[in-house]
Chains A and B, each alone.
Chain A
Amino acid sequence: MKDVFSMWKKTKMVVLVALCAGLYAALLIPFKGFVLIPGITEFRPASALPVVMGLLFGPAGAWGSAIGNLIGDFFGSLGIGSLFGFVGNFMFAYVPYKLWINFGKSSEGIGEPDLKSGKKILAYVVVSILGAAACALPIAWGLDLLGMVPFAALGSIITLNNSIPSILLGIPIMLILYPRIKKWDLLWTDIMDEDEIPVAGRLSRIGATVMTVSVLGGMIGGFLAAFGVGQGLLYSGFGAGGDVGSLGVTLVAGVGTAGLIVSSFIQTMPKKSS
Chain B
Amino acid sequence: MDMFLYVDVESFVHRLDPRTKLLLMFLSFAVGVMFNNILILTAALALVVAYGALGRSLSNLKRIRVVLVMITLFSLVIWSIARPSGNRFLVFSVDGVLYGLMIAVKTNLMIVAGMIFLSTTKIEEIAQGLVKLKIPYRAAFAFSTAIRLVPMIVATSYTIIQAQKSRGLDLDSGNLIEKIRKYVPLMIPTLISVIRGTNIFSMALESKGFGYSDDRSNLLEIRMGGKDYAMMTAGLLILAAAVVLKVDHSIYDAWASIFPWGDFA
Contact = CB atoms under 8 A, between A and B. Distances in A.
Contact of B146 (A68, A180, A239): A68
A89 interface: no
Given A71-B147, A74-B5, A148-B106, A38 B70 contact: yes
A141 B97 CA distance: 25
Contact of B195 (A8, A172, A181, A239): A181
A77 B67 contact: yes
Interface residues of B, number: 72
A203 interface: no
A147 B146 CA distance: 32
A11 B206 contact: yes
Given A12-B198, A172-B184, A240 B5 contact: no
B39 interface: no
Given A18-B146, A184-B199, A74 B118 contact: yes
Interface of A: 8, 11-12, 14-19, 21-23, 25-27, 29-30, 32-33, 35, 37-40, 45, 48, 63-64, 67-68, 71, 73-82, 146-148, 164-165, 168-169, 172-173, 176-177, 180-181, 184, 186, 235, 238-242
Contacts of B180: 45, 164-165, 168-169
Contacts of A176: 188
A78 B111 contact: yes
A2 to B, nearest CB: 15
Contacts of A146: 33
A38 B202 contact: no
Contacts of A71: 143, 146-147, 150
Contacts, number: 195
Interface string B5-29: 1000000000000000000000001
A238 B152 CA distance: 39
Interface stretch (B49-57, B72-80, B162-170, B251-259): B72-80
B153 A173 contact: no
A177 B205 CA distance: 25
Contact of B117 (A15, A76, A78, A184): A78
B81 interface: yes
Given A168-B177, A173-B191, 11 more contacts: A14-B141, A15-B142, A15-B198, A68-B146, A76-B115, A78-B118, A80-B110, A164-B180, A173-B188, A184-B195, A241-B84
Given A37-B74, A173-B184, A25 B198 contact: no
A168 B175 CA distance: 13
Contact of A19 (B66, B117, B198): B198
Nearest to B204: A15
Contacts of A148: 33, 103, 106-107
A48 B117 CA distance: 30
B149 A239 contact: no
Contacts of A73: 114
Interface in B43-71: 63-64, 66-67, 70-71
Contact of A23 (B71, B143, B191, B206): B191
Nearest to B74: A38
